[in-house]
Amino acid sequence: MKIFELRQKYKHFGFDGEEIICHTLGIDRAHLLLSGNDEISPENLEKTEKRLTQLSEGEPLQYILNSAFFYTREFFVDSRVLIPRFDTECVVEYAVKELKGGGVFADICTGSGCIGLTLLCECENTKGVLLDISKDALDVTKINGERLGVCERFKALEFDVMSDACWNTLGKFDLIVSNPPYIPTEDIKALSKQVLKEPRIALDGGFDGMDFYRKIIEKSRDHFTRGVNIIFEIGYDEGEKMKTLADTLGLNCKIKCDINGLDRVALLKE
């Protein structure tokens, strides 16, 4: 089969289908458009069509390709971790400002490591502790740490946010960043087919979506070098709930929006 014939056969997949074709054949989009008469080897054709079948079954593109871009860098991802989102990049932007002079940070619920590892890449004089309850997720974190060349600057630790014993093992940090599960339990069932392919443990934030925020704030207060300094990703409709929670606990809270003008980041300090 020729490239243009393959494109025509699967044109209903649009951009995602073409991404799979390019990635599997090892070509760029210019080659895809200009070299349509090139023959595809039987091995590559079989692999491409297998991936396109996965796409038709609702598998996220990033899992099919084991690839997601975040803050200009490519991360390995699979079904063990949440797929990095563009919206989360604004968390990194605020964290970089806090760490511009160096320091030690914790990235809680790190998943693929996209936040913590990006901070290490962007802030030369930093070290990090990347924490997650899932050993499988931490294996992905380590893969990405190796790819980015920052393994010597972080520790990846299995960590249950809800466990007092785990918190007792932590030291102190200049900053804690976290993109924890924050979707209310009842809202999970309404998510798209693709999102439901992602680990539920990385999505479910409890009855009101705030379970992890409450616990992290409560247990982290004695783990800062110079007073509470937390940056959270939050849901688009959680800004007021976060302000109320922070006020109840005697903390200052600023809510920042993402590029779409939606609440996305909470900055908490004493």
Q: Could you tell me the CATH superfamily of domain 80-269?
A: Vaccinia Virus protein VP39 (3.40.50.150)
Q: Give per-residue pLDDT as tens, 85-126.
A: 999 999 999 999 999 989 999 999 999 999 999 999 999 999
pLDDT in tens, 220-246: 999 999 999 999 999 999 999 999 999
Mean pLDDT of 147-171: 96
33: pLDDT strictly greater than 90: no
Q: Mind listing the pLDDT tens digit for each residue in 215-225? A: 999 999 999 99
Q: Taking all residues of the chain, what is their mean pLDDT, rounded to a whole number?
A: 95
Is residue 32's pLDDT more than 90?
A: no
The pLDDT score that the predictor gives to residue 168 is 93
- Residue 144: the pLDDT is 98
The pLDDT score that the predictor gives to residue 232 is 98
pLDDT bracket for residue 4 (50, 70, 90): confident
Quote the pTM value.
0.94
pLDDT of residue 187 exceeding 90: yes
pLDDT band at 29 (very low <50, low <70, confident <90, very high): confident
List, as one string, the DSSP characters of the chain. -BHHHHHHHTGGGHHHHHHHHHHHHT--HHHHHH-TTPBPPHHHHHHHHHHHHHHHTT--HHHHHT-EEETTEEE---TTSPPP-GGGHHHHHHHHHHTTT-EEEEEET-TT-HHHHHHHHH-TTEEEEEEES-HHHHHHHHHHHHHHT-GGGEEEEE--TT-HHHHTT---BSEEEE----B-GGGGGGS-TTGGGS-GGGTB--TTS-HHHHHHHHHHTTSBSSS-EEEEE--TT-HHHHHHHHHHTT-EEEEEE-TTS-EEEEEEE-
What mean pLDDT comes out for the span 196-210? 96
Res 35 pLDDT > 90: no
Mean pLDDT of 144-161: 97
